[in-house]
Amino acid sequence: MSACAGVAIDADKNKANGDVSMNSKNNIRNSCDTGETPPRRSFLKTIAMGATLAGAMLMGAGQAQAATTWKIQSTWDAGTVGYTLFEEWCKSIEAKSGGELKFQCFPAKAVAADNNALFDAVRNGVLQGMNPFTLYWAGKIPASVFLSSYPAGPDQPHQWDTMFYSMGMLEKTREIYKKFGLFYVGPIQHDANIIHSKQPVNSLDDLKGMKIRVPGGMVAEVFQQFGVSTVSLPGSDIFPALEKGTIDAADFVGPAVNYELGFSQVTDYIIFGPPGVMSIYQPVDLMDLTVSLRAWNSISPELQQLVEDEVRIYSQKHYLAIQARNIEAMEKFKADGDTVTRLSQEDLETWRKAAIPIWFNWANKNDDARAILDIQLKYMMNDTVGYITEEDIKGF
């Protein structure tokens, strides 16, 4: 078949599709009628243009498929149930976003060596996000002591979700974090923190004279009101300190992770609050997802909404998965000979009275801390909660 015949056939096909104008058809026909062959240079030029267009189309398709990758470090150690859950969730984001966003996750210390380095790594763009325990930033953001549970504060997970999502606390938190170049996506429900002890504690009076590892800040200050000598240790140092007897008791997180860390081997007692309250000092220890403001602003509103929704979904899954593991862990503690002791409701009320002045000391560090506590006081004083009264905070 001649080149001219091939072009004529293509033209007829295009005509059937309505793609060729009358002038184009006549030009093709005239060329065939004269028996002239299209010039080689013109033919090569046509091929080159086609190749260029095809390449541009391929480049466009590649760019559309390329995912924005966020590197996110958790404060969970590799191998723990917390990190396994976080890793699974991160892997799901690429598919849920249709390939537009990818979370590359890292365990504790993988990129940033400690908490201060983690905070700075997200601000400086070394990481795009972090999954920390919110309380870690008390020294940098005083309001953060009220963004996770604190001594005798709201002690049920749904209360925290109510304050964040129904009472304006999420919006206020984002205003505060924005000052640091960060975007607080949302809280992630975790668990209560509990204390493992070498000796039984059946009342607050039993705490006097004990040396206990607890978080610093507000938590340590309240324990000190009851004659406790407090010490702050990283998680990896707790087991050897208990084993050597340099401390009498230690808190960390909840039963599931604490069992994985071997606490049953070096303690005999687990201290809970009244029935229904695992902990009177950190009953709802929240984590969160925080990303750099620059990274957040670089994605579309649709992706932003997806990430916000996913954090809320993951918060529930994370919490429920850990609660299931806690139930299993408590059976293991019991099998190992550990005994649960409980503080009374009266102990909790005494603890709250000691804590309230310390709440206000922290709230008065700056306007942001005060604004967050104001939201929580309004809630705790409402009759649906009823934890405190006007009389309880009179004079503060």
At CA 338, angle to CA 199 and CA 209, rounded to 5? 15
Give the HSE-up count for residue 146: Cα atoms under 13 Å, Cβ half-sphere: 31
Residues 6+ apart with CB under 8 A from 30: none
Cα distance between the two ends of the chain: 98
Q: Which of 235, 254, 251 is nearest to 75 (CA)?
A: 235
At CA 321, angle to CA 320 and CA 322, rounded to 5? 90
Identify whether the C-beta of residue 271 lies closer than 8 Å to the C-beta of residue 195.
yes
Is 252 a known ligand-binding residue? yes
At CA 94, angle to CA 88 and CA 98, rounded to 5? 140
Is 193 a known ligand-binding residue? yes
Is 396 a known ligand-binding residue? no
Q: Which two tokens stand for residue 309?
A: 């929704």
CA–CA separation, 53 and 273 (whole Å)? 70
CA–CA separation, 296 and 301 (whole Å)? 9
Residue 133 gets which letter from DSSP? B
Tell me the torsion sign for CA atoms 198, 204, 210, 211: positive
Q: Which of 350, 331, 349 is nearest to 340 (CA)?
A: 331
Q: Binding site membership for substrate: which residues?
A: 193, 213, 251, 282
Q: Binding site membership for Na(+): which residues?
A: 252
Q: Binding site membership: which residues?
A: 193, 213, 251-252, 282
